[in-house]
């Protein structure tokens, strides 16, 4: 088995070169930021 065959046989795990809808990633990231900010505010940590 050559190196090329071994590389081609691997399953993609969704790494940084994965092509997908970037807008969904941005929206989910900002949603997470807002949720964490609301949690910190409600707990009185800020």
The pLDDT of residue 38 is: 95
Contacts of 46 (CB under 8 A, 6+ apart): 40
Per the CB < 8 A criterion, the answer to whether 40 and 46 are in contact is: yes
Q: Structure pTM? A: 0.54
Q: Which of 21, 1, 19 is nearest to 10 (CA)?
A: 1
Longest CA span, the chain: 59
Q: Which of 13, 17, 14, 43 is nearest to 35 (CA)?
A: 43
The pLDDT of residue 29 is: 95
The pLDDT of residue 46 is: 73
Mind listing the pLDDT tens digit of every residue in the chain (46 residues)?
565 655 566 676 766 666 668 888 999 999 999 999 999 999 998 7
């Amino acid at each position: 088995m050559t190196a090329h065959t071994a590389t081609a046989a691997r399953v993609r795990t969704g790494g940084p070169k994965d092509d997908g809808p970037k807008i969904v990633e941005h929206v989910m990231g900002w949603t997470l930021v807002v949720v964490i900010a609301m949690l910190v505010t409600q707990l009185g940590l800020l």
